[in-house]
Structure 1
Amino acid sequence: MHVLLDECVPRKLKGELPGHDVHTVTEMGWSGLKNGPLLRRAAQEFDVFLTVDQGVEYQQNLVGLNLAIILMVAATNDIDDLRPLMPRVRETLTSVSPGSIVKVQV
């Protein structure tokens, strides 16, 4: 899978997704883009958008977007809070479909 990590997700989590092509918003040169334009660009090049932004599903019209969103729910976006979610994220990546939003939490 081609996975894009949102700006609010620690880039060190890339190493937690072996076997996937993972990039960050910053690496793509998309830093500072609002969610709408960011998601539209991501849908052109990626299969999955990985974020901790709890509002993304309410702020954006995701209808017709050819991109799956995995929303990690943790106490903070600190890597120590997010790392325990990664086994479930990896499992979700095996079955997630375009246009879906999947919440992953402990």
Structure 2
Amino acid sequence: MRVLLEENLDWHLGRDLPEQQVESVPLLGWAGIQNGELLEKAIAAGFEVLVTMDGNMVHQQNIARYAIAVIALRAKSNRLDDTRPLMESIRVLLPRVKAGTVTFIPKS
């Protein structure tokens, strides 16, 4: 599965999903692209999941109209020490995510 880490997340998180093909927005040269355009580019590039800490994205975009699943992390900060503990939950969730849906981790 192709997973895209948004620019607000450390690319090192991809190492915690070794069975997935994980890339990051900055390493693709897509830094600064707005949410709607980013979703479109990700879909066109074959990504199936976008992982973000941008909780506003899900309110600003109608995710249901996009052919990509979004996982929104709820952590104290976007520092690796705060986000890495959530990666096991993502690993378990990935086989079940569906395009056009948003899943928050941890769930509230």
Please tell me the TM-score bracket, short chain as reference: over 0.9
Q: Counterpart of 1:63 in 2: which secondary structure?
A: helix
Q: Counterpart of 2:9 in 1: which secondary structure?
A: coil
Name the counterpart of 1:88.
Answer: 89
TM-score by length of 1: 0.95
- Number of corresponding residues: 106
Q: Counterpart of 1:103 in 2: which secondary structure?
A: strand
Worse-matched range after superposition: 80-89 or 56-65: 56-65
What 5-or-longer segments of structure 2 have no aligned partner?
A: none
Q: Counterpart of 2:7 in 1: which secondary structure?
A: coil
Name the counterpart of 1:69.
Answer: 70
CA distance in 2, matches of 1:69, 1:59: 13
Matched, 1:17 2:12: no
Once the two structures are TM-superposed, the CA of residue 43 in structure 1 deviates from its matched residue by 1.6
CA distance in 1, matches of 2:85, 2:31: 26
Higher fraction of helix = 2
Give identity over the alignment, percent: 37
Q: 1:6-51: per-residue Cα shift (whole Å, max 9, x none)?
A: 0000111010111100111112221110111001111222000000
What 5-or-longer segments of structure 1 have no aligned partner?
A: none
Root-mean-square deviation (CA, aligned residues, Å) is 1.1
Matched, 1:27 2:7: no
Retained in 1: the 8 A contact 2:3–2:49? yes
Once the two structures are TM-superposed, the CA of residue 63 in structure 1 deviates from its matched residue by 3.0
Once the two structures are TM-superposed, the CA of residue 54 in structure 1 deviates from its matched residue by 1.0
Name the counterpart of 1:41.
Answer: 41
TM-score by length of 2: 0.93
Once the two structures are TM-superposed, the CA of residue 62 in structure 1 deviates from its matched residue by 2.0
Retained in 1: the 8 A contact 2:48–2:99? yes
CA distance in 2, matches of 1:35, 1:52: 12
